[in-house]
Structures are given as C-alpha cells and as structure tokens.
C-alpha cells in the first residue's frame, strides 16, 4: 500500500473521510510504513489512517469520477476507508 500511496504524496486525492458514501478532496501529506496522513480541504484537519482501514484504492491516469449528479468530483485516485457505525441515543 505504501508504494501505491507514495505516488500521491503532496497531491490531492479523493477520500471518504467523514462519510462512508461521500468522497472529499484531501492532500496526502505523509506516507509511513504503517499509516498515511491527509489534510482535508474543508477544515484543514489532519487525518491519520492505518493501512488496515483501507477498503479499496481506485486509480486511473485519466481520472476517477466519484459522486452523484449534484456532487460529481474527479480525482486521479480515490481511497475508500472503512467506517465504524456509531449509534447514539434514539437509535
């Protein structure tokens, strides 16, 4: 996984950071032996993910289209990370 992600160091990717079903732009800022880190575009937060969180990496030199009709986005790589379902009061 490290060798794949190293190609995108300091580049924008698409990743489902906060929502399992929505890809957002983020910049890869670190690729370590056991994890990678990105900074999200919205809030400039740094997110660290272990490679075990990655469900799928989708790459295409001409781009990967993600999203729907109203939220269409285009990235060179899209990374799906797994999300833990969290239930709170009222569920």
Q: What is the DSSP letter of 42?
A: T
| Tokens at 11, concatenated | 């580049």
The pLDDT score that the predictor gives to residue 65 is 78
pTM summary value: 0.85
Question: Domain segments of the chain: what residues?
Answer: 2-81
pLDDT tens per residue, range 13-68: 999 998 888 889 999 999 999 999 999 988 999 999 999 999 999 998 887 877 66
Q: What is the pLDDT of residue 8?
A: 95
CB-based contacts of 45, cutoff 8 Å, min separation 6:
39
Q: How many degrees, rounded to 5, is the angle at CA 42 between CA 89 and CA 34? A: 80
């Amino acid at each position: 996984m490290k060798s794949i992600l190293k190609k995108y160091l300091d580049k924008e990717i698409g990743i489902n950071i906060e929502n399992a079903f929505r890809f957002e732009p983020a910049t890869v800022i670190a690729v370590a032996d056991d994890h990678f880190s990105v900074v999200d575009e919205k809030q400039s937060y740094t997110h660290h993910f272990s490679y075990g969180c990655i469900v799928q990496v989708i790459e295409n030199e001409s781009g990967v289209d993600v999203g729907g009709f109203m939220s269409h986005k285009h990235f060179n790589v899209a990374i799906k990370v797994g999300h833990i379902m969290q239930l709170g009061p009222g569920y």
